[in-house]
Structure 1
Amino acid sequence: MDTANLSAFLAVADSGSFSRAAEQLHLTQPAISKRIAMLEQQLDARLFDRIGRKVTLTEAGRALKPRAQEVLGLLNDTRRALSNLSDNVQGRLSMATSHHIGLHRLPPVLREFTCAYPDVALDIQFLDSEVAYEQVLQGEIELAVITLAPEVEPPVVAELIWHDPLDLVIAPEHPLAHAAVLDLAKLAAYPAVFPGANTFTHRIVSTLFEQHQIKPYISMSTNYMETIKMMVSIGLAWSVLPRSMLDSQVRALSIPGIRMQRDLGCIWHSGRTRSNAALAFIRLLQEAAAAESEKG
């Protein structure tokens, strides 16, 4: 069975489209259709139902999908293991990062990596941390640099890179900006914009208020920290931001006994052999974090 046909099958299954699968694999749509037809002929089973523009897996297709993922995953892992026998850092590194980390933490590391290892083809996706976590878990990407889940469970392995303190923030002209005494209950009475309900950061903030048995007035939510900062800066709501993002546009609140922090780091699948490229990238992340810590 040709692995190229299995790759085409998975691309169509994941995208739900022959044309999008063709774009993903840099092939023509007829080439994708031919590979699927060959695979269906080899297996003597129809793998997709095509109704209008909608493409869905048949029962046979649903049965094949996890097996195809396992076969290709094992093949790719074998290639990495054999490649790692040499000390060369080359090949393709598939990774994901969150928008916030990609904008505010990774650029110096990426610059150093591409200069030091020009033979590595970086395939970077910008995804929500929770989506990247799932893709690592499913073996779809090798490495992710994200906000770490409060609890990381096997087979996912996490390496802490940065502590990321979080601050409660308001606009400089917010009614509470000059309050002599401030507590969570008083703050919670005002509209808030929270990180999206599906995010690890939302979980951290929600846990804080739950521990104090306070229910905040959440008027809006979004997954993007830059959007949160904008909405806070124009006075629409209060929120939580990484301390590294604070400037004159927003004001951090100091509430006695309140401290929040999230952890940023990289994750990979324990059952997948890390490539030399992934190991080199993790090493540069660790060095960057150590240098930042020394600066204070």
Structure 2
Amino acid sequence: MIDLRHVRHFLAVASHPTVQAAADAIHLSQPALTKSVARFEEQLGAQLFDRRGHKLVLTELGERLVARGEGLLRHALELEEEVALWKGLGTGEVSIGVDPAVELSLLPLVLETFMPAHPHVKISVRSGHVDALLPSLLGGELHFLVADADLALTRDDLDISRLSAEPIVMALRPGHPLSQTSPPKQADVRSYPIAGGTHTPRFAQWASERARHEGEKPQEPDLICDNYEVLIRLAECSDTIVYGPRSVLANYQTMGRLEVMPWPVTDGLLTNPGLIRSKGRHLSPAAEKLMQLFLTSTT
């Protein structure tokens, strides 16, 4: 393997009238420089200089290698600069997956902090349910996920860092019959279609336990859709009740499109968000920084 120090010493001698002048220019003793050039020639198995008294004159091969050596050092410098940028978050790419709730709540908060501070880091975001994103995480296409952690809890090849939970609430159009009922009861909710962005095993278990406590059949969602805009538009033009994290649905209440109400039970359901990554995978400084922002940001 070629030692870049030998290349630098070779180029120094090639660009100065004498070996002593080259040694002075690179702050090296003349004997040490002569020995380094000799070792380089020995390593290559070819003569790069003709010795003419106190001068070294490039051979034909030596002349050909000057441009090559300069290019090699230039590329080495670019490589070092690229590594320095990568370590300092001056470059890089991060690919993440988020579920619909995170996409509309935590993700914008994190990106508006990260991107202005690191404008040359490319971020790629894929949205979907956890079960659809996990194969891409395990296959290395995504660096990490920020999503409901229920479906990942049983896997021993994943690391999960919990994020702050929040209540699941319901939202309905202004003028909805339930908006006149204060507070609405669970039996009232059963009279209308319900739709949401997720239906995890934990949600299904909670709904089943609530139904058993009430002596009723579990109320299954009439629609599961990972696009909240579709759910909201459906709620605006019908009596459908949309359920989801409070931070997500509160945005639509602020816009005057829906009214947010607590789920009409005392043991309401909470979200279970988490940052999910493959065990043992080393991530770039940019990915690590982005993860820390997710872990420390709150909606």
Superposition TM-score tier, normalisation by shorter sequence: 0.5 to 0.7
Instruction: Give the 3 Å change call, closer, same or farther, for CA 131–182 of structure 1 in structure 2.
Output: same
Are 1:286 and 2:295 an aligned pair?
yes
Kindly state the Cα deviation for residue 259 of structure 1 after the two structures are TM-superposed. 1.0
> Would the aligned equivalents of 2:137 and 2:277 in 1 still touch at CA under 8 Å?
yes
Separation (CA, whole Å) in 2 of partners of 1:211 and 1:145: 27
Match of 1:18 in 2: none
Separation (CA, whole Å) in 1 of partners of 2:265 and 2:276: 34
The residue type paired with residue 99 of structure 2 is: S
TM-score computed with the length of structure 1 as normaliser? 0.59
> Would the aligned equivalents of 1:225 and 1:241 in 2 still touch at CA under 8 Å?
no
Separation (CA, whole Å) in 1 of partners of 2:117 and 2:202: 37
Larger Rg: 2
Aligned with 1:170 (options 161, 169, 172)? 172
Q: For the aligned residues, what is the CA RMSD? A: 2.8
Are 1:271 and 2:280 an aligned pair?
yes
* Correspondence 1:93-104 to 2 at 5 A: 93-104=94-105
Q: Deviations over 1:95-131 (max 9, x none)?
A: 2223442333222322322232344232322333332
Separation (CA, whole Å) in 2 of partners of 1:140 and 1:100: 21
Are 1:215 and 2:218 an aligned pair?
yes
TM-score computed with the length of structure 2 as normaliser? 0.58
Match of 1:142 in 2: 143
Instruction: Give the 3 Å change call, closer, same or farther, for CA 131–226 of structure 1 in structure 2.
Output: same
Q: Deviations over 1:113-166 (max 9, x none)?
A: 223234423232233333223321233211122222265222111222332321
Instruction: Give the 3 Å change call, closer, same or farther, for CA 103–154 of structure 1 in structure 2.
Output: same
Match of 1:238 in 2: 241
Match of 2:71 in 1: none
Aligned with 1:260 (options 266, 269, 273)? 269
Separation (CA, whole Å) in 2 of partners of 1:128 and 1:150: 10
Separation (CA, whole Å) in 1 of partners of 2:170 and 2:127: 26
> Would the aligned equivalents of 2:128 and 2:226 in 1 still touch at CA under 8 Å?
no
Separation (CA, whole Å) in 2 of partners of 1:278 and 1:181: 45
SS in 2 for 1:268: strand
Match of 2:112 in 1: 111
Separation (CA, whole Å) in 2 of partners of 1:253 and 1:177: 11
SS in 1 for 2:201: helix
The residue type paired with residue 121 of structure 1 is: K
Match of 2:30 in 1: none
SS in 2 for 1:227: helix
Match of 2:121 in 1: 120
Separation (CA, whole Å) in 1 of partners of 2:196 and 2:123: 33
> Would the aligned equivalents of 2:101 and 2:245 in 1 still touch at CA under 8 Å?
no
Structure 2 residues not aligned, in runs of 5+: 1-82
Match of 2:74 in 1: none
SS in 1 for 2:171: strand
Q: Give the percent of matched residue pairs that are identical in Structure 1 and Structure 2.
A: 18
Instruction: Give the 3 Å change call, closer, same or farther, for CA 194–175 of structure 1 in structure 2.
Output: same
Separation (CA, whole Å) in 2 of partners of 1:127 and 1:150: 13
Instruction: Give the 3 Å change call, closer, same or farther, for CA 217–190 of structure 1 in structure 2.
Output: farther
Separation (CA, whole Å) in 2 of partners of 1:256 and 1:123: 39
Q: Which is richer in strand?
A: 1
Q: Deviations over 1:234-285 (max 9, x none)?
A: 3331231221223142241452413111122321100311221111111222
Match of 1:91 in 2: 92
Instruction: Give the 3 Å change call, closer, same or farther, for CA 181–100 of structure 1 in structure 2.
Output: closer
Match of 2:204 in 1: 206
Separation (CA, whole Å) in 2 of partners of 1:180 and 1:116: 47
Match of 1:160 in 2: 162
Structure 1 residues not aligned, in runs of 5+: 1-82
